[in-house]
C-alpha cells in the first residue's frame, strides 16, 4: 500500500513581527534546513473511518476519535475535509515528524499543519493548492495562537520569501542578491500566544506609543523590501539592528536574546535581531559566507543551544 509523504519548511521573520498582528507589513523567509514531514497510508485492517495519529516527537500515538475536538489535528482534519468537500476520510494512519524547533519562532506548528494537510489531500487523490494548504494551517493557528496574523502559514505553504500584510494579498519577493542568515536558539521555549497576549494587554492600556512603534517598524519593512529586491545586503543589516531596537521597546526581547544579538554584532554580523514572538526562541544574524562560521562559534560561546545557517537565494520565487 503506497504511502503519501509531504514536507514543509520552517521559517523566520526577517522584519515586522508583532507589528504584523496590528495590520502592518512584515517580511518572512522559508528555512529549508529544517522541515516537518507527514506521511499518510491506508489502514486496511482498521474499522471504517478510523484515523490513527502518530507524532513520536510529542508522544502522540492515538485514535483521532479519542482526541478532543480542539486538538490541532482534529481541527486540521476538519479543515482539509472542508477544503476538499470530503465529509470523512477513509481509515488511515498519519505519521508526523519535525526537525523544526518547537515554540522557537520557526513556525513548527504551521509547518506540521501544512505537511499533514498536503499528505492527507494527496492520499485521497486531490492535492491542495498552496493557498488551500495555507488556509487549512491557518485554522489551526487561529485555535492556538489567539490572533495570528497568518504570516507563518503563508510563508511555509508557499515556500518563498514574502512581504505579508494581514487581510491583503501578499507578495513573493525576489532578492536581487543572495544573503545568508545564522539563526541561533536561546533554548527558551515561550509560547507565541503568551507573548502576543501580553503585548495586546499593554497596547490596550496605552495604544498610542505602541502604534508609533508599529509605524516605525512598518517603515523599516518597506525599506527592507526595496533593499532585498535591489540586493543591498549591507543596508538590510542596519535595518535589522533598528528593528531589534524597536522590538526591545515593545518589551518582547529578553536578556538571553539581547546577549546573542550583541555577540553577533561584535563578531562582525551586518545586523542582528530577535525573530518571531520573542522573550526566547531564536535570533537571526545577517552574515557573509566568510563570516558565518566564526559568528556561529561566537553565538555558541554566548549560550546558543542550536545554530542553523541558511542562504536565501537570489531571484527566488
Ligand atoms: O510563530 P512566531 O513565534 O514566529 O511568531 C509569529 C509572529 C508574531 O508576529 C509575533 C505573531 C503573528 O501571528 O504574526
Q: What is the pLDDT of residue 22?
A: 96
Instruction: Classify 313 in phi/psi space as left (phi over 0), alpha (psi -120 to 50) or beta.
Output: beta
Cα 26–chain centre separation:
12
Backbone angles phi, psi at 305, to 5 degrees: -95, -15
C-alpha cell at 173: 519577493
Cα separation, 156 vs 29, in Å, equals 8
Q: Does residue 239 contact residue 10 with C-beta atoms inside 8 Å? A: no
Indicate the DSSP class of residue 91: S
Ligand 1 centre distance from Cα of residue 228 (Å): 21
Q: What per-residue confidence (pLDDT) applies to 253? A: 98
Residue 231 zone, left/alpha/beta (φ > 0; ψ -120 to 50; rest): left
- For the chain, 317 residues long, give each residue's pLDDT as a single digit of tens: 679 999 999 999 999 999 999 999 999 999 999 999 999 999 988 888 899 999 999 899 999 999 999 999 999 999 999 999 998 899 999 999 999 988 788 999 999 999 999 999 999 999 999 999 999 999 999 987 777 889 999 999 999 999 999 989 999 999 999 999 999 999 998 888 899 999 999 999 999 999 999 999 999 999 999 999 999 999 999 999 999 999 999 999 999 999 999 999 999 999 999 999 999 999 999 999 999 999 999 999 999 999 999 999 998 65
Q: Is 152 a catalytic residue?
A: yes
Which atom of ligand 1 is nearest the CA belonging to 147?
A: 13
In short, whether 13's Cβ falls inside 6 Å of ligand 1 is yes
- Best mutation site among 109, 148, 193, 203 for ligand 1 pocket (most ligand atoms within 8 Å of CB): 148
Distance separating the N- and C-terminal Cα atoms of the chain: 35
Strand 51-55 to 92-98 pairing = parallel
CB count, 10 Å around CB of 109? 24
Q: Is residue 270 within 8 Å of 233, Cβ to Cβ?
A: yes
Return the closest-CA partner of residue 133 out of 107, 146, 115: 115
Could you report the per-residue pLDDT of 89-113, keeping only the tens digit for each?
999 999 999 999 887 889 999 999 9
pTM of this structure: 0.94
pLDDT of residue 186: 96
Greatest C-alpha distance within the chain = 61
User: Which residue's entry shows cell 495590520?
Assistant: 23
- DSSP code of residue 58: T
Q: What does the pLDDT look like over 233-265, one tens digit per residue?
A: 999 999 999 999 999 999 999 999 999 999 999
Q: Would you state the pLDDT for residue 104?
A: 81
Which of 63, 130, 152, 262 is labelled catalytic? 152
Report how many helices (DSSP H) and strands (DSSP E) the chain contains, helices first.
9, 11
Mutate to test the pocket of ligand 1, among 9, 19, 20, 146 (most ligand atoms within 8 A of CB): 20
Rg (CA), the chain: 20
Return the ligand 1 atom nearest residue 195 CA: 10
Torsion of CA 66, 79, 117, 194, to 10 degrees: -80
Nearest 5°: the CA angle 111, 107, 290 is 110
Measured between alpha carbons, how far is 216 from 209 in angstroms, rounded to an integer? Answer: 11
Amino acid at each position: 500500500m503506497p504511502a503519501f509523504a509531504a514536507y514543509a519548511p520552517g521559517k523566520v521573520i526577517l522584519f515586522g513581527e508583532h507589528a504584523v498582528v496590528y495590520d502592518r507589513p512584515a517580511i518572512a523567509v522559508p528555512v529549508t534546513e529544517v522541515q516537518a514531514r507527514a506521511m499518510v497510508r491506508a489502514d486496511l485492517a482498521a474499522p471504517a473511518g478510523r484515523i490513527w495519529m502518530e507524532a513520536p516527537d510529542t508522544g502522540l500515538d492515538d485514535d483521532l476519535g479519542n482526541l478532543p475536538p480542539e486538538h490541532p489535528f482534529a481541527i486540521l482534519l476538519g479543515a482539509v475535509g472542508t477544503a476538499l468537500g470530503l465529509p470523512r476520510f477513509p481509515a488511515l494512519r498519519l505519521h508526523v515528524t519535525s526537525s523544526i524547533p518547537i515554540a522557537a519562532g520557526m513556525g513548527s506548528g504551521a509547518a506540521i499543519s501544512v505537511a499533514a494537510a498536503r499528505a492527507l489531500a494527496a492520499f485521497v487523490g486531490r492535492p491542495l493548492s498552496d493557498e488551500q494548504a495555507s488556509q487549512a494551517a491557518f485554522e489551526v493557528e487561529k485555535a492556538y495562537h489567539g490572533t495570528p496574523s497568518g504570516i507563518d502559514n503563508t510563508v511555509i505553504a508557499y515556500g518563498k520569501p514574502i512581504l505579508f500584510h494581514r487581510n491583503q494579498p501578499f507578495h513573493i519577493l525576489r532578492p536581487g542578491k543572495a544573503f545568508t542568515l545564522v539563526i541561533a536558539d536561546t533554548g527558551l521555549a515561550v509560547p507565541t500566544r503568551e507573548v502576543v497576549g501580553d503585548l495586546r494587554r499593554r497596547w490596550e492600556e496605552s495604544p498610542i506609543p505602541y502604534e508609533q512603534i508599529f509605524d516605525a517598524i512598518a517603515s523599516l519593512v518597506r525599506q527592507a523590501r526595496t533593499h532585498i529586491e535591489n540586493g543591498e545586503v549591507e543596508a538590510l543589516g542596519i535595518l535589522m539592528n533598528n528593528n531589534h531596537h524597536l522590538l526591545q521597546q515593545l518589551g518582547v526581547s529578553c536578556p538571553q536574546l539581547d546577549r546573542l544579538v550583541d555577540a553577533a554584532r561584535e563578531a562582525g554580523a551586518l545586523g542582528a535581531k530577535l525573530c518571531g514572538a520573542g522573550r526566547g526562541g531564536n535570533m537571526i544574524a545577517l552574515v557573509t559566507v566568510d563570516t558565518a562560521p566564526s559568528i556561529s562559534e561566537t553565538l555558541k560561546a554566548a549560550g546558543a543551544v542550536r545554530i542553523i545557517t541558511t542562504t536565501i537565494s537570489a531571484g527566488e520565487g
